[in-house]
Amino acid sequence: MLNYDKTYFLQFLSKTNNELNTQVSFGNKKFATAQSLKFLGLTIDTTLTWKHHIGELTSRLNKACYTIRSIKPFMSLDVLRSTYFSYAHSIISYGIVFWGNSSYSEDIFKVQKRIIRIIMNSSRSASCWQVFRDLNILPIQSQHIYIQYFYLLLKMKTNFCLTHKNIKSIQVNF
């Protein structure tokens, strides 16, 4: 049974291509056309820029930033780091394989830097690279690369039947 109230048509386009006037129907019912829609927690738009999704993530991360700032005076560094991983990192990690290469992901990186600066009491103008290392937290760009690398190794293992020993011998320099 198809629920016509919850079924939408999303036409994928290039950034330069104009929208085609396409109608999709099933039987005598036409599906509504959407510019973006939420699917398994990811907001997908017609050009796959991930702008709407990253906007939603930025809003959620700003709430995480506020939470960490609020509890900082009462908590140890270990608790703040654990809070980061349970709250902010889980938001950043979900679906990063899809949206991590978007030009809009820079907005996520700015909030991520703000959060780690709060945790470590760093100034706004201080470089974050050492702070990321001290907290043992990957910046969003590195998380995206890590997930891509992990996915590649997983595909190689399933496609070529590599052993664990062979996978450990593969080295990639970043």
With respect to residue 174, please indicate whether it lies within any of the assigned structural domains.
Answer: no
Q: What is the pLDDT of residue 82?
A: 92
Beta bridge partners of 29: 26
With respect to residue 158, please indicate whether it lies within any of the assigned structural domains.
Answer: no
Domain with 84 in it: 51-148
118 and 39 co-located in one domain: no
Q: What is the pLDDT of residue 59?
A: 95
With respect to residue 73, please indicate whether it lies within any of the assigned structural domains.
Answer: yes
With respect to residue 157, please indicate whether it lies within any of the assigned structural domains.
Answer: no
Distant-in-sequence, close-in-space partners of 111: CB < 8 Å, separation ≥ 6 = 58, 61, 62, 65
Q: What is the number of domains present in the chain? A: 2
**Measured CA distances, 47 to 14, 62, 90, 94 (Å):** 6, 26, 26, 20
Q: What is the pLDDT of residue 158?
A: 65
Q: What is the pLDDT of residue 174?
A: 40
Kindly report the pTM of this predicted structure: 0.76
89 and 63 co-located in one domain: yes
| pLDDT lower than 70: segments of the chain | 17-20, 157-174
